[in-house]
């Protein structure tokens, strides 16, 4: 039901933003009004989460009203879906292009900073603390503490915050980590700057890591198992 209602409201998306024709006070003095207003807020949240290109509010309300009341619509259902998909695809492409450029610009500036090393793959790292222990191979298991961030500073994962080191096989993580771990020694603490192609690439990872994200990790290699 939720998906159907979202698609219904998406049905008549246009290309220019207009003023909200419903921008006026309303009294929520009945349970029906409260429920209706609440449904509108829920649907708006769902629409925004789909990254629409732009929405003409007047056309959206017209499409919703016509369909809900059973009136003749200005486009058939197939045409509506095609318009929605085209707009959403264009918005996603622009967002992805922006993320790629932001990551490339960050790495280009970062590589000239003091202490930053860039490998042939494009991985960048900075040694925060030098260790003297053994180095892992691709087949090793390691125990590490880490904090992962986006380039805007948003933390998406942290074993440090959980106060629980992570143990995993070196070859079981993203490529940027696979490469970096085999350069590290027990006791090392590095900051890694991982291009999207060595991270989660065009897929991203769940809600927290968007497609084409450049990632920053602070990694402490505690033990090679």
CA neighbor of 84 nearest in space, from 176, 23, 10, 188: 10
* 146 flagged as catalytic: yes
Q: Which of 10, 64, 193, 200 is catalytic?
A: 200
Q: Which of 146, 194, 216, 222 is catalytic?
A: 146
* 65 flagged as catalytic: no
* 64 flagged as catalytic: no
DSSP designation for 205: B
* 61 flagged as catalytic: no
Q: Which of 53, 61, 66, 156 is catalytic?
A: 156
* 212 flagged as catalytic: no
What's the CA gap between 193 and 176, in Å, rounded?
8
What's the CA gap between 197 and 212, in Å, rounded?
8
* 217 flagged as catalytic: yes
What's the CA gap between 112 and 65, in Å, rounded?
57
Place of tokens 């509010």: 57
Give one DSSP letter per residue of 1-57, joined into a string.
-HHHHHHHHHTT--SS----TT-S-----SHHHHHHHHHHHHHHHHHHHT--S---H
Active site residues: 146, 156-157, 174, 200, 217
């Amino acid at each position: 039901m939720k998906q159907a209602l979202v698609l219904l409201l998406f049905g008549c998306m246009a290309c220019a933003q207009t003023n909200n024709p419903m921008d006026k006070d309303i009294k929520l003095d009945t349970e029906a009004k409260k429920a209706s207003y609440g449904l509108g807020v829920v649907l708006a949240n769902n629409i925004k989460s789909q990254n629409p290109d732009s929405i003409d509010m007047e056309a959206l309300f017209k499409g919703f009203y016509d369909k809900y009341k059973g009136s003749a619509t200005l486009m058939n259902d197939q045409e509506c879906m095609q318009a929605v998909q085209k707009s959403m695809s264009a918005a996603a492409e622009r967002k992805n292009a922006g993320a790629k450029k932001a990551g490339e610009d960050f790495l280009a500036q970062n590589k000239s900073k003091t202490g930053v090393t860039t490998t042939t793959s494009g991985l960048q790292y900075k040694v925060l603390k030098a260790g003297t222990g053994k180095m892992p191979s691709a087949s090793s298991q390691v125990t590490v503490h880490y904090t992962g961030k986006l380039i805007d500073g948003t933390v998406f994962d942290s074993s440090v915050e959980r106060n629980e080191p992570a143990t995993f096989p070196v070859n079981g993580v993203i490529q940027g980590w696979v490469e970096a771990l085999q350069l590290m020694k027990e006791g090392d603490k590095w900051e890694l700057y991982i291009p999207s192609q060595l991270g989660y690439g065009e897929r991203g990872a769940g809600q927290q890591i968007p497609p084409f994200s450049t990632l920053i990790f602070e990694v402490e290699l505690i033990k090679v198992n």
